[in-house]
């Protein structure tokens, strides 16, 4: 009887671990799983912002608000940037609202993308498309001739 209970217990633990792992990977790695580059922003008014509010740039989510700290004359926002972008000295922060309820998020403009370059791959795809178009045109010409 104890061997059966032991097997059921092991099976249950393995099942719960698999459900937990699938939840993390299906959710595209939640904010606490990703690498974080912190930055600090000082603003005069942080109306509607709270911890874990999204940080966006050009409509894409690039991080989240780690903490909101109130000082005498300003509010300090500690943000965590999880996307492969870099904040520039000219980057400005704006508080924006979205949706019917007016949920607030922080928008950063401009930022610079520092991830892997896609230009070379796009150039190769264009060259392949041009080659296939030339081949199609030549095949059309051959069949039209006959």
pLDDT tens by residue, 109-129: 887 777 776 655 555 555 555
pLDDT at 43 over 80: yes
Confidence category of residue 45, pLDDT binned at 50, 70, 90:
confident
Find the helix or strand (DSSP H, E) in which 129 lies.
helix 119-145
Mark whether 12 and 41 lie in a shared domain: no
Contact between 69 and 78 under an 8 Å Cβ cutoff? The reply is: yes
Residues 112, 42: one domain? Answer: yes
For the stretch 114-119, contacts whose Cβ atoms lie closer than 8 Å and that sit 24 or more positions apart, written own/partner, are 114/84, 114/85, 114/86, 115/83, 115/84, 115/85
Residue 105 forms part of a structural domain: yes
Report the pLDDT value the prediction gives residue 56, as an integer from 0 to 100: 92
**Is residue 42 domain-shared with residue 103, that is, in the same domain?**
yes
Total structural domains in the chain?
Answer: 2
11: left (phi over 0), alpha (psi -120 to 50) or beta: alpha
Residues 24, 45, single domain; the answer is: no
Task: State whether 38 and 19 are in the same domain.
Answer: no
Range of the domain at 3: 1-30
Residue 76 lies in a domain: yes
Q: Are residues 40 and 90 in the same domain?
A: yes
What are the helix (H) ranges across 37-109? none
Asked if residue 4 is part of any domain, the answer here is yes
Q: How far is 111 from 86, CA to CA, in rounded Å?
A: 6
Domain match, 26 and 45 both: no
* Position 72 in a domain: yes
Residues 63 and 99 in one domain: yes
Tell me whether strands 103-113 and 54-57 are parallel, antiparallel or unpaired.
parallel
Spatial strand order of the sheet with 75-81 comes to: 37-43, 75-81, 60-70, 54-57, 103-113, 85-98
Residue 99: predicted pLDDT:
80
Co-location of 76 and 6 in the same domain: no
């Amino acid at each position: 009887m104890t061997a059966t209970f032991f097997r059921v217990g092991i099976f249950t633990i393995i099942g719960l671990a698999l459900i937990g792992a699938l939840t993390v990977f299906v959710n595209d790695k939640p904010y606490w799983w990703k690498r974080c580059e912190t930055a600090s922003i000082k603003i005069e008014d942080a109306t509607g912002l709270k911890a874990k509010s999204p940080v966006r740039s050009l409509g894409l989510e690039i991080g989240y608000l780690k903490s909101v700290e109130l000082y005498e004359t300003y509010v300090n926002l500690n943000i965590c940037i999880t996307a492969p972008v870099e904040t520039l000295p000219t980057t400005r922060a704006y508080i924006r609202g979205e949706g019917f309820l007016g949920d607030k998020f922080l928008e950063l403009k401009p930022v610079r993308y520092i991830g892997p370059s896609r230009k070379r791959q796009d150039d190769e795809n264009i060259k392949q498309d041009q080659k296939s178009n030339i081949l199609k045109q030549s095949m059309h010409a051959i069949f039209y001739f006959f």
